[in-house]
Amino acid sequence: MPRIEIYEGSQKIADVGLPEKKFSTGSVGFWATQKLEINGKRYQGQFQLVEIGSKEKKE
């Protein structure tokens, strides 16, 4: 499972694992959401990696 590390300056504020996902479009890749805090404010992030050309071709 790929992982993404998020930094604020030199301080790591999140380490997000991205599980595999088959999207409704037919493409495949990885996707996750994560809540994190930056400068005392809370955010929710979405992380998506889609393999280019992974969508099955219609015949």
Segments making up each domain of the chain, as ranges: 1-33
Q: How confident is the model at residue 34 (pLDDT cuts 50, 70, 90)?
A: very high
Q: Alpha-carbon distance 20 to 31, whole Å?
A: 7
Q: How confident is the model at residue 21 (pLDDT cuts 50, 70, 90)?
A: very high
Interval 2-19 mean pLDDT: 93
Give the phi and the psi of residue 57 in degrees, each rounded to 5.
Answer: -80, 135
CA distances, 34 to each of 16, 23, 48 (Å): 7, 19, 12
Interval 49-57 mean pLDDT: 90
> Which residue matches tokens 């030199």?
10
- Paired with 40 in beta bridges are none
